[in-house]
Chain A
Amino acid sequence: MKIFSGVVAELEAQGAGILEVFEPNPEEAVIRLNLEDFHRACLFMHKRLSSAVMAMFAADKRIVKSSFEIFCVFLSREHRKWCTLTADIPQDRPAFPSLARDIHSASLFEREIREMFGLEPQGHPDLRRLHLHDEVWPAGLFPLRKDFVLSGPVASDGITYCFNRVHGEGIFEVPVGPVHAGIIGPGHFRFSAAGEPIVNLEIRLGFTHRGVEKLFENKPPQEGLTLAERVAGDTAFGHGWAFCRAVETLAGLKVSPRALYERAIFLELERIYNHFAGIGGIALDVGFSFPAQFAAVLKEKVLRLNQYLTGSRYLKGVVCIGGVSRGFSRQDTRALLSEILSVSADHQELKKMLYGSVSFMDRVDDTGILRQKTARDLGVVGLAARASGADLDLRKVFPGIYERSDFRLIKQEKGDVLSRLRARMDEVDESVRLIIYFVDRLEEQSGTLAADFSRAASGRAIGSVEGWRGPVFYWVDMKEGLVDRCKIVDPSFHNWAGLSFAVLGEIVPDFPVCNKSFDLSYAGNDL
């Protein structure tokens, strides 16, 4: 309360009627407001904390208090806190003032709230639906409302989605997807091109919408964890840990340092294998097949290491509420160290191969620039934001076990494909260093692997982790030992907009490499 009270006082001075301020745990501050003041307070926090909207969502509380609740979460790096603004929306007037015209990063969240809860963002410039496609879903169905029942197939109203059109002589549209030639997720890309240069790119997603947030409802947290690990296949561990953190915070569970060290090791392993996949992908998309193959070998080595350590190549079922499901033996740590050192040595070779090739560097340098200001305005997060000069890394904001590891935030300035590539290369080095550090400390730790977890306390908490792509955000609302509402924000949800800006002015055949350099998830976005 003390740390944050200054900001709250400033907010009050703006004339916002604050109903309640409380700090449920050291990482969070919650400010409850009247709906009339919600808009003004959000604008103030956005500017004061210089934070994008990190998450915005609603919850259906009509059974308890005949109203919906709306939440807008900012991140204060200065106070090391998530700052949640919340207000009640009465059920007889299901609308709220839209932030989208003032804060771009709120735009997609508001569209999501509209289609999932039927709450109208008043003044929003673009009300097209994101996940529930008009071609499939009729109007008036709001899946995240508590009274929603899906009894069978739905019939569309016969409306089709309307893409933004660019008018002018010689402009033509190139539709790509949602089914692609490679093994990637489904997404539709609509290019408006004048010859080869891209004038506009509209990305339509939502094809893998599975209703994950709905599936969380009324599940015990253990089942929720299984679900969380399956939200985005390449961030299974990151999502699992973020969900666990929320539940652990609520239950007041103390996770032993030993388990935390192990978790951090797995998080970094996940980062490393994904970075190798991405680096190889960038090389492959410019037709540089030898290093691409080399990177694929490195990725496979890390996956096999994962398999050896945990029995799961993609680290599923490793994290559990209260700790980790299996501990390292001395033999394991030895194997881990020797393998990670050998991978790191190969990684140096890979770097030489890529940085030393003139034809490769010519392709990635200056391609797909996302300027720092654009990234900030769009609310781009994680790896892509750091490649454009942002300082945001949750491992810095909420260091936890990283506190004494001398963790170095990897940052690039230019924001082109090369910057994103360099950021990933450097992060691999940093992750290797961290793993070695954690393994060293792990030897000294004895504590339990997993704290006892019997029943979750009711309440709400945020769980977050800096996954390889960026911050993975979970907001969990527990009621009587079951999940009442779980809001997930994968970094992809923030970053797809960044891609559509980065490719402007680039030529159409350079799109794949720009896309790969962002390396975003379809499943994590569509939920």
Chain B
Amino acid sequence: MQYSWLLFQALVAVFCAPLLSGFIRKVKNALRMRRGAPLGQPYRNIVKYLAKEEIVSETTSWIFRAAPFVVLGSTIAALMFVPVFSFSFSAAGMGDVLTVFFLFALGRFFLALAGLDAGSAFGGMGSSREMFISSFVEPVAIVTVAVVAAHGWSAESGEMSRHIGTSFSRMVAAAALFMVVLAETSRIPVDNQETHLELTMIHEAMLLEYSGRSLAMLEAAASTKQLIWFSLLGGVLWPWPFGGAMTLTDGIAAMALFGLKMIVGALVVGLTEIGLAKMRLFRVVDFLGLAFLFSVLALVILSLGY
């Protein structure tokens, strides 16, 4: 039973992920007094890419072709270890929340290699920037999860589910995680998804050489990854009361609550993106340094018993 829930959750999450991207775009455009693309545009894009011919540069190796599979696969696998709708819906026993970061690192590694593989200048720049930023992102993410895990002395999501309830340390940890989420989902002030300027891109630069089915997979992976980060943030800041054995009504309520959280998250991210200019690349160090400070502070606060 648990595994069928798990599978169901993964399917729903992967399917709904592009909707979240579309919604954030809609929020941003509404704030800018623009009509913008319809909510379902990310789906249309993926369908369009799937129908298009794929062009692969002659100078690439197998890594370039394998990367989309590794990235999408590892992202979906990561989904199994994240409490999306409910804590009890995750692959408890197979790994803990830290596994998510390792799976992300695997995908990132392959994507960065693929960016270099085609030998275009933009891809290389994107890869180098991505690795530069991830070296600041990962420590913050791990410390933040440690704060939550320390409530029950376990990073395994089933165990974590028994220690829900908001505390001050969780709030501070969530502030740190929010900054990480902005960086990891290529949002302003770290990256800019909307730009057409290759020279300023980070994540998009690594995808420039991709087309067709591979691009569709990478886009799907990016929006799924975004959903995972959002639900991690939601879980840290606002843990939900659903755990243990679930009835059908519980399940529906959990999904509704999840949807609500995503909407709130999208509004906050949309507002942040509109209100800020993108940072100078090397300023990101300060930004994520601050995030690290917050995460350590959360640990200290936790150790004081709040």
Q: Interface on A for B, CB 8 Å cutoff?
A: 172-176, 181-182, 195-196, 283, 285-290, 293, 357, 359-360, 362-363, 367, 507-512
Contacts and interface: CB of A to CB of B under 8 A. Distances in A.
A387 B197 CA distance: 25
A389 to B, nearest CB: 25
B283 A362 contact: yes
A507 B280 contact: yes
Contacts of A172: 121, 124
B15 interface: no
B199 A176 contact: yes
A30 B189 CA distance: 56
5 contacts: A286-B277, A290-B32, A359-B278, A362-B283, A363-B280
B170 interface: no
Contact of A196 (B121, B278, B281): B281
B252 to A, nearest CB: 37
A394 B279 CA distance: 38
Contact of A289 (B28, B197, B199, B281): B28
Contacts of A363: 277-280
B274 interface: yes
Interface in B83-104: none
A359 B279 contact: yes
Given A182-B196, A362-B277, 14 more contacts: A172-B121, A172-B124, A174-B121, A176-B199, A181-B197, A287-B194, A287-B200, A287-B277, A289-B28, A290-B274, A362-B283, A363-B279, A363-B280, A508-B125
Given A362-B283, A512-B200, A357 B32 contact: no
Given A172-B121, A174-B125, A363-B280, A287 B188 contact: yes
Contacts of B169: none
B68 to A, nearest CB: 22
Interface string B262-306: 000000000001111111111100000000000000000000000
A289 B125 contact: no
A507 B229 CA distance: 30
B280 A287 contact: no
The 7 closest A-B pairs by CB, nearest first: A287-B278, A288-B277, A181-B196, A174-B121, A287-B192, A360-B277, A509-B200
Contacts of B277: 283, 286-288, 357, 359-360, 362-363
A283 B192 CA distance: 13
Contacts of A290: 31-32, 274-275
B121 A288 contact: no
Contacts of A175: 121
B249 interface: no
Nearest to B124: A172
B190 to A, nearest CB: 10
A508 B276 CA distance: 21
Contacts of B128: 195
Contacts of A196: 281-282
A28 B31 CA distance: 55
B121 to A, nearest CB: 4
B138 interface: no
From A357, A362, A508, residue with most partner B Cβ within 10 Å: A508
B1 interface: no
Contacts of B34: 293
Contacts of B122: 174
A82 to B, nearest CB: 39
A182 B283 CA distance: 26
B198 A286 contact: no
Contacts of A357: 276-277
Contacts of B247: none
Interface string B1-39: 000000000000000000000000000100111100000
Contacts of A512: 197, 199-200
Contacts of A359: 189, 276-279
Contact of A507 (B188, B278, B282): B282
Contacts of B278: 286-288, 359, 363
Given A290-B32, A293-B33, A507-B282, A285 B125 contact: no
Contacts of B197: 181-182, 285, 512
A324 B164 CA distance: 76
A510 B188 CA distance: 15
A348 to B, nearest CB: 19
Contacts of B195: 287
Contacts of B276: 287-288, 357, 359
A288 B273 CA distance: 8
B123 to A, nearest CB: 11
A124 to B, nearest CB: 31
Nearest to B196: A181
From B34, B195, B282, B283, residue with most partner A Cβ within 10 Å: B195
Contact of B281 (A174, A362, A509): A509
A173 B28 CA distance: 36
Contacts of B124: 172
Contacts of A176: 121, 198-199
B283 A507 contact: no
Contacts of A283: 277
Interface in B175-219: 188-189, 192, 194-200
Contacts of A287: 188-189, 192, 194-195, 200, 276-278
